[in-house]
Amino acid sequence: MKPINKYRSSFAVNLVVSAIMLLLVFSMIVSAVGYVSFTQAFKSEYAETTYHMADTATALINGDEIDSYLQNGGDSDSYRQTKQYLETYCRKMNVMVIYVIKVDTNDYGRFTSVFNLVSEDSGYTPWEVGFQRDTTNDEYAQVYRGLYEGTLTYGTIYRTTNLGGALPHITTLVPVKDSSDRVVSVLCVQRPMDALTASRRPYLVTIAFSTILLMILSSVVMAVYIRRQFVSPIRRIIFEAERFAKENKPGTKLGDSISRIEDIAALARSIDVMEEDMLRYIDNLTAATADKERIGTELKLASSIQANSIPHTFPAFPERDDFDIYASMTPAKEVGGDFYDYFLIDDDHLALAIADVSGKGIPAALFMMVTDIMVNEFTHLGGSPADILMMINERICDHNPENMFVSVWLGILELSTGKLTFANAGHEAPAFMRRDSEFKLYQSKHGLVIGAMKGIRYRNEEIVLKPGDKLFLYTDGVPEATDQYQCMYTLDNMLTALNMNKNRSPQTIIEGVQQSVAEFIGDEPPFDDLTAVCIEIKKPTGKRLVVDAKPENLSVVNDFVEDFLSDTGCSAKVKSQIDLAVEEIFINIASYAYEEGTGKADIFLSRKNDELHMTFKDSGTPYDPLQKPDPDTSLSASDRKIGGLGIFLVKKTMDDVSYEYRDGYNILSITKNLK
């Protein structure tokens, strides 16, 4: 029974304390209202009295002689007599300070002292006649202006805290006029506020005493009543609740007889019903928990698989300094339907993709992963973005019984030239920024979303990105993010966030947009996935040359290579080996690649640190020169078979040589260490 007594006492004490606290709060509110009303009334009366004092004091001053007083420095009988009157007035009226000043009416920010009388306990040092100083603050300057311009009859300024050793006081300012009714100076009267403090003290003491007395009486009455009417029945209810919590077994019914108070009897009945429901719930929960744990584990696994199915390591291409890219995807649920992707098709072509699948959750995530795989696969097979989207659409429409769809933006960036070729299948318009400009939406005609209908053709568009330009891709989860009032974030807010960070890195730009969206939606959970990709074009590290595959164009190719090597600092020996390899490969393309007519030779040079990378492409007859057996160099020139020596020298002098046939092109790639 000890725990019951403990709960019984705690319950009674809490009720009594709560009632006392309520009474205390009520008393404080009443006291505060009375205190404020009393203070305001007193201050109003005090201000009115001070004004009459100041207005009366102006009768002691001859406004026509103000300028004369300043010119003579107070050396006149009239000045001395007026000062004596003011000094007597200051002392008799219990005024801290009476001073007369002439204000500079150019800006009302500076004044000159004419009279200055202070009481002994004011804490001020009197000013001499002619003393000049700046106005204390704008409040005084505004009052000066109002008095001089006639918009104020008088001004009142309160100072309730000590300033420079002076006591709290009220200052009343009135105009001093000359015989032509022109304001020539300002008279100020300061009175201490100690009378206000002295008047409020008895009021506060009375309120405090009344509150304490009421709390004591209330405590005694409520303690006796509460223990009899509430504590005894409730402790039985608590005992039964504790017993059930420990044993989880049915016990004695409390019933309606526990109390005559309906609310307590209802509580007892609720405990009886709760025990019955809880026993059933425990049985159901045991089975449901096992299923929930299994589903939770599967969702975590699905989320991990999805997160790792898209690029998520940054910097994405640490060996490349011709562009910088960053991306982020935040699912609205454990798994989402958005995805992004980027990958190098070859050394000079970067694929960019972003997509948004209809729906959410696991079905959208599965559809997203299938689409992402097809984007990657078909892009590597070759073709323009429009062709790739068309093939993906056909494939999905053939196997889409749930009629799901996905919006896709796909682009291929040629890094050497900055040419971006892209197609849009119902996705959001990208935001594009030229160097030293601002982000703007790039509006173009969109195609139908992927999966909606077979036979759809998409359109390629081109734009050239230059060093310093940036491209921002996003899904509709960004502009359509909603706050607690169901207001959307909008594209305008997105552009504002982009332009606030436009000169920063792609990572900082995306983080800035994410922070802006988070601040907008507040504590609201995100309604849709938030996905974004940002790329910045930097100084190209490679150059491309496309020429007719004719032997007479060898000089053009050699000049192109010489120009690229001019600032690499490579030795004459290395340069000679490179020239030999370039000549051998270009002549082979010009002589053997094309059977009829003349085709093109595509040469791309790039440099990574101390390595030179060369790529030779032609669309001629498929042929792998690396499959040709190496010549037997132990034989004399007359005994060896003709051919094969040139490519053999290329393999021997270069550090790496590889061949592939892709997208209808022979592609020979060479790497040479320049050092």
**Minimum mean pLDDT among 233-247, 462-476, 492-506, 529-543: which range?**
233-247
Residues 599-613, mean pLDDT to the nearest whole number = 86
Kind and range of the H or E run holding 338:
strand 338-346
- 353: pLDDT strictly greater than 90: yes
Number of other CB atoms surrounding residue 598 within 10 Å: 12
Residue whose structure tokens are 């003579």: 72
Contact 528, 358 (CB under 8 A): no
Whole-angstrom distance, CA of residue 569 vs CA of residue 674: 8
pLDDT cut 70: percent of the chain above it? 84
Q: CB-based contacts of 337: which residues, under 8 Å, 6+ apart?
A: 356, 357, 358, 359, 360, 361, 364, 365, 367, 368, 406, 529
| Torsion sign over Cα 518, 521, 524, 527 | negative
pLDDT single digits (tens) 423-475? 999 999 999 999 989 999 998 888 999 999 999 999 999 999 999 999 999 99
Rounded to whole angstroms, how far apart are CA atoms 153 and 51?
10
Q: What is the pLDDT of residues 193-231, one digit of tens each?
A: 776 666 667 777 777 777 788 777 777 777 677 776 677
* Structure tokens that stand for 598 in this block: 């003349």
Which bin fits 609, alpha (ψ -120 to 50), beta or left (φ > 0)?
left
Residue 205, Ramachandran bin (φ over 0: left; ψ between -120 and 50: alpha; else beta): alpha
- How far, in whole angstroms, is CA 556 from its chain's centroid? 53
Q: What is the pLDDT of residues 268-294, one digit of tens each?
A: 777 777 767 777 777 777 666 666 666
For residues 371 and 389, the answer to whether their CB atoms sit within 8 Å is no
Separation CA 213–CA 218 (nearest Å): 9
Q: What is the mean pLDDT of residues 347-352?
A: 90
- Average pLDDT over the chain, rounded to an integer: 82
How confident is the model over 339-356, as a mean pLDDT? 91
C-beta separation of 427 from 478 below 8 A: no
Strand partners, 221: none
pLDDT of residue 375: 93
Query: In the β-sheet with 132-134, what is the strand arrangement from edge to edge?
Result: 132-134, 110-118, 97-103, 183-192, 169-177, 155-159
Q: Mind listing the pLDDT tens digit for each residue in 473-501?
A: 999 989 999 988 889 999 999 999 999 99
Q: Which residue has the higher pLDDT, 233 or 171?
A: 171
Q: Which carries the bigger pLDDT value, residue 577 or residue 169?
A: 577
Question: What is the chain's Cα-based Rg?
Answer: 45
CA distance 129 to 112: 8
For 303-317, what is the mean pLDDT? 73
pLDDT of 614 above 80 = yes
Instruction: Return the closest-CA partner of residue 29 out of 293, 206, 211, 163.
Output: 211
Length of the chain counted residue by residue: 675
301 in Cβ contact with 328 (< 8 Å): no
Q: Tell me, what's the pLDDT at 342?
A: 93
Q: Compute the distance between CA of residue 190 and CA of residue 177 in angstroms, rounded to an integer.
A: 20
Write the pLDDT tens digit of every residue in 624-657. 888 888 776 655 555 555 556 788 888 889 999 9
pTM of the model: 0.50
Query: Please, which pLDDT band fits residue 1 given cuts at 50, 70 and 90?
Result: very low
Confidence at residue 150, expressed as pLDDT on a 0 to 100 scale: 87
Residue 301 has pLDDT above 70, yes or no: no
Burial 173-191 (b: 16+ CB within 10 A, else e): bbbbeeeeeebbbbbbbbb
pLDDT of residue 7: 44
Cβ pair 110, 133 in contact under 8 A: yes
C-alpha–C-alpha distance, residues 409 and 354, integer Å:
5
Name the β-bridge partners of 188. Answer: 99, 173
Give the C-alpha separation, 564 to 672, whole Å.
14
Query: What is the DSSP secondary-structure string of 587-652?
Result: HHIIIII-SSS--EEEEEEEEETTEEEEEEEE-SS---GGGSPPP-TTS-TTTSPSS-HHHHHHHH
How many helices and strands (H and E) does the chain possess?
Answer: 14, 21
Q: How confident is the model at residue 27 (pLDDT cuts 50, 70, 90)?
A: confident
State the Cα–Cα distance between residues 311 and 105, nearest whole angstrom: 71
Quote the distance between the C-alpha of residue 607 and its chain's center: 38
Residue type at 440 in one-letter notation: K
Separation of alpha carbons 449 and 427, rounded Å:
8
The residue among 615 and 297 whose pLDDT is bigger is 615
397-428: pLDDT as tens digits: 998 888 889 999 999 999 888 899 999 999 99
Residue 91, pLDDT above cutoff 90: no
pLDDT for the residue 338: 84
